[in-house]
Amino acid sequence: MPELRLNLITREWVIIAKEKGKKPEDFVITKERKKHPEFLESCPFCPGNEAKTPDETYRIGDGNGWRIRVVPNRFAVLTKEGERIRVNTGLKKSVNGVGIHEVIIETPFHNLTTATIPVEQLKDVMQTYIDRFIEIYKDRRIEHVIIFKNSGPSSGTTIEHSHSQIVGTPITPLQIRSRIENFMRYFDDTGECLACNTIEDEIHDGARILLNTEHFVSFVPYAALSAFHIWIFPKRHSGSIADIRSEEIWDLAVHLKSTMSKLNYGLEHPDFNYVLRSGKPSQVHSEFIHWYLSIVPRVAMASGFELGSGMYINPLVPEWSAEFMRNVKIPQYAE
């Protein structure tokens, strides 16, 4: 019989479709692994092709050149120039599309992915996120900043070179407001942080834990919205990633590397999205907001039922997802 589980953080019901009999192995999409070169002449993100991108806004380099570059997105969803102007005409509400949209080029090597980038480099990627996050919030026109990564055709990207994006918007999206309200409502009812209690409950249960270290815990949520949906939560309560400490940045990179490596080798390099959900720098000391990283492998498609009802169908029991992930063996050369 199916089971309905409530995801308290999203306030969304999920149907765990046990009767479909799906096993983790059923989500392995066998495909030929392409061998990408370290450098691709046509790739705008490869070293030597810097003229193919707008002028960079941020760089981490070494004696051999750059290690990370941040550039404005040539196909930005918002325009950097102009003032934020709200228009109210009867039932018609609008804001002109000003904002900031940047691309983080995570490595000079065309053939590396989040799963194969060295953890030291991922640490620098995380540091770049934080630095640009804080800087973009200094713009008085910006209400919300989102950091995300698309990887693979079904994720919404066509560029293979490993990169992520950061967007500062002139409004706070409904989904963000809704989740903040969920956190606030729980705090009003209990006097406690929902995320902190979720971490404590998941660690105590143990069935869905993937990695548990000093500063972070990675797990498949009890009411995971999709197969292999994974959350990485900081154990120390903080409303914003702007407050992260140096030792925590390293630990976060370790968790991301471990998780993506297991997905890469366990599910044959699936397409994926991840998003960093965080309050503003000014919300660092919020008692109810708690930032985290959400990873969604693209191993199943949404149906009309999900689009029409807003209720997710997860064809794989979350505990089975977690057990499968824990048992994935990463080749020694890839560690």
Instruction: Give yes or no for a contact between 16 and 227, defined as CB atoms under 8 angstroms apart.
Output: no
* pLDDT average, residue stretch 65-76: 96
Cβ atoms of residues 182 and 10 within 8 Å: yes
Contact (CB, 8 A) for 147 and 276: yes
Asked if 47 and 66 count as a contact pair (C-beta separation under 8 A), the reply is yes
Identify the CATH number of the domain in which residue 264 sits: 3.30.428.10
Residue 105 belongs to domain spanning: 3-334
Q: How many domains does the chain have?
A: 1
pLDDT at residue 158, rounded to an integer: 84
Confidence of residue 21 (pLDDT cuts 50, 70, 90): low
Mean pLDDT for 275-282 is 98
Given this model, what pLDDT does residue 334 score? 57
CA distances from 141 to 180, 255, 317 (A): 21, 33, 43
The CA-atom distances, in angstroms, between 181 and each of 91, 171, 174, 218, 276 are 25, 16, 10, 24, 18
Residue 110: predicted pLDDT: 97
pLDDT band (50, 70, 90) for residue 293: very high
Give the per-residue pLDDT at 20.
67
Bridge partners (DSSP) listed for residue 218: 211, 232
Residues 312-331: pLDDT tens digits? 999 999 999 999 999 999 88
The mean pLDDT value of the chain amounts to 94
Enter the tokens of residue 162.
Answer: 């490993």
Mind listing the pLDDT tens digit for each residue in 122-164?
999 999 999 999 999 999 999 999 999 999 998 988 899 999 9
Q: Is the pLDDT of residue 31 over 80?
A: no
pLDDT at 335 over 70: no
What is the CB-side half-sphere exposure of residue 268 using CA atoms within 13 A? 12
What average pLDDT does range 283-300 have in this prediction? 96
Task: Give the pLDDT mean for 220-242.
Answer: 97
**237 and 218 in contact (C-beta within 8 Å)?**
no
pLDDT in tens, 197-226: 999 999 999 999 999 999 999 999 999 999
Q: Cα separation of 240 and 183, whole Å?
A: 14
pLDDT for 63 equals 84
**Taking the alpha carbons of 177, 180, 186, 187 in that order, is the dihedral positive or negative?**
negative
Q: Which of 315, 293, 310 is nearest to 224 (CA)?
A: 315
302 contact partners, CB below 8 Å, separation of at least 6: none
- For tokens 């039922």, the residue is 305
Per-residue burial over 45-64, b = 16 or more CB atoms within 10 Å of its CB, e = otherwise:
bbbeebeebeebeeeeeeee
Tokens at 297, concatenated: 């492998």
Q: What is the pLDDT of residue 303?
A: 81
pLDDT band at 32; cut points 50, 70, 90:
low
**Residue 90 above 80 pLDDT?**
yes
- The arithmetic mean of pLDDT across residues 295-304, rounded, is 88
Q: Concatenated DSSP letters for 116-129?
A: TS-HHHHHHHHHHH
